[in-house]
Amino acid sequence: MKLIFLGTGAAVPSKNRNHIGIAFKFGGEVFLFDCGENIQRQMLFTEVSPMKINHIFITHLHGDHILGIPGLLQSMGFFGREKELKIFGPEGTKEIIENSLKLGTHYIEFPIKVYEIYTKEPITIYKEENYEIIAYPTEHGIPSYAYIFKEIKKPRLDIEKAKKLGVKIGPDLKKLKNGEAVKNIYGEIIKPEYVLLPPKKGFCLAYSGDTLPLEDFGKYLKELGCDVLIHEATFDDSAKDAAKENMHSTIGDAVNIAKLANVKALILTHISARYDKEEYFNLYKMNVKQYNESFKIIISEDLKSYDIKKDLLG
């Protein structure tokens, strides 16, 4: 599992920060969270392949989070993509994608399925056998959502116990692990609950999108056992008024949510272009250093990659 920050800037891109876009590699595919302008070119400097992206999750419809979609779709078509692409986002996402497909002459022939989210409560919007994606409503002036990736682990098999109960070594063990009852060598029925151990905890990742700080969000993440939180920190703590006025969060806001969530790592992103100036960025870094927490606090950088187990959970 890896996180790759394709863009870490806010509304206006800067020399050091592209518009926002975060890639998450899991199980042979790539999940893309937000797709700001120029994201597909940023991918060229990383290990991220656009053709491996099967799911795009848009937090909200401000331009810095969506303007990279038309070019990305056209490139996928140019390279002969055939696999379906799923795009999730708030109300209005379908219209954005429809309009994107009307721009210029292109070769987009692969299916695109758009799922619009309408909820005031956290809900699972997509689920596979080994993971689920949860949308959490946030506050940013327009419909907006945080996204939570939650890995699903299967129950573990107590092989020694199964042997003692007379289960044959082979396909029957797999059946038990998948929840099917089997007959042992004595003709007795062995149910899965006889030999299954509770599943190990799966990895959990949350991305806030743009939002005012929401303490309930942090508490919800704690209930889920969230490991890594990517939270916007558009401003340093000296700009609390600007953050509130623009419905954003400060460094201190993000740290507080991370505390409530009890995460192992907090990554700050969506950083204002004002911090492109060295003296302002030094202020930002000094602000971060003031927080001596039990979890890691990282300031995101464009094109920076993190091995989750090694760099964030280790």
Catalytic residues: 64
Under 8 Å between Cβ of 267 and 308: no
Residue 55 token pair:
């799911």
- Rounded to 5°, the CA angle 209-2-144 comes to 10
Tell me the angle at which helices 251-261 and 278-289 cross, rounded to the nearest 10 degrees: 30
227 alpha-carbon distance from chain centroid = 12
Q: How many other β-carbons are positioned within 10 Å of the β-carbon of residue 65? A: 26
Which residues are registered as beta bridge partners of 205?
Answer: 149, 228
- Binding-site residues for Zn(2+), in ranges, read 60, 62, 64-65, 140, 210, 270
Closest Cα partner for 249 from 210, 284, 276, 288? 210
Dihedral sign from CA coordinates of 134, 1, 262, 233? negative
Under 8 Å between Cβ of 25 and 33: no
- Binding-site residues, in ranges, read 60, 62, 64-65, 140, 210, 270
* 3-class secondary structure, 28: coil
